[in-house]
Homo-oligomer: A and B are copies of this chain.
Amino acid sequence: MKTLSVREQLLEHTLVLVRQRGFNGFSYRDLAERVGVKTSSIHYYFPTKEDLVQAAVTEYSARICDHVRHIDTGLPPEDQAREFLQPWLDSAGGDRICLVGMLSTEALLLPEPVHRVLKEFYRVNETWLTRLLESVQAAQHKPAALAPQTMAQAVLGALQNGLVVARLFGAPQRIKAAADLLTVAVSGPVVEPVPA
């Protein structure tokens, strides 16, 4: 377990605070207390709060998008979908939603460079899902009811709101509706296991 530099600690705690409370929901004081420095030290690394959030969203988007890009396209579609869904299922029901979902909701408060990263996140994830659904559709005889891109956007949206609702209700399983939507699209009807 590596020791993080102060800058890295600031970034990690910012990721947590934004995912919990949003851009306007935490202060330099909150962040300083968590890392164990004074607020003036934060300004040394991130001159303004916009610099801080820009670094946070860039780091977060890179992590998720890298995860998606590294999914083995040789795997069966069901397995690719499972890999894609993993980070979403992992965070469902905790106190953190997707950082991109949070900041997109607060978009009117944020500068344009942040918008660019948010849009890129949606583009990368939707494009990956579209390709997956296209490959499934190409292997079938009947065309799907919804175009791959349309289903991709619907799935990603359902996942984003799924995290929000799972947290609101304190019910991790509420992410399952969105996950099932993707699962069905790549591999047919979901059959729940029957209790013995």
> In the assembly, what is the distance between CA of A156 and CA of B164, in Å?
12
Q: Is the CB of B150 within 8 A of A177?
A: yes
- How far does the Cβ of A173 sit from chain B's closest Cβ, in whole Å? 11
Within residues 49 to 81 of chain A, which ones have a CB less than 8 A from any CB in chain B? none
Say how many copies of this protein the assembly contains. Answer: 2
**Segment of A4-12, A28-36, A39-47, A97-105 engaged in the interface with chain B:** A97-105
- Size of interface on A: residues with Cβ below 8 Å to B: 51
Q: Is A21 located at the chain interface by the 8 A CB criterion?
A: yes
In the complex, chain B residues whose CB is within 8 Å of the CB of A122: 165, 168-169
Q: Is A145 located at the chain interface by the 8 A CB criterion?
A: yes
A residues neighboring B (CB under 8 Å): 20-22, 24-25, 95, 97, 101-102, 104-109, 115, 118-119, 122, 143, 145-146, 149-162, 164-165, 167-169, 174, 176-178, 180-181, 184, 188-190
Q: List 29 A-B contacts (CB under 8 A).
A: A21-B109, A22-B105, A25-B108, A95-B108, A104-B164, A107-B164, A119-B168, A119-B169, A122-B165, A122-B169, A145-B184, A145-B189, A146-B189, A146-B190, A149-B177, A150-B180, A150-B181, A150-B190, A151-B177, A153-B162, A153-B165, A153-B177, A154-B154, A154-B178, A154-B180, A157-B159, A157-B160, A158-B158, A160-B161
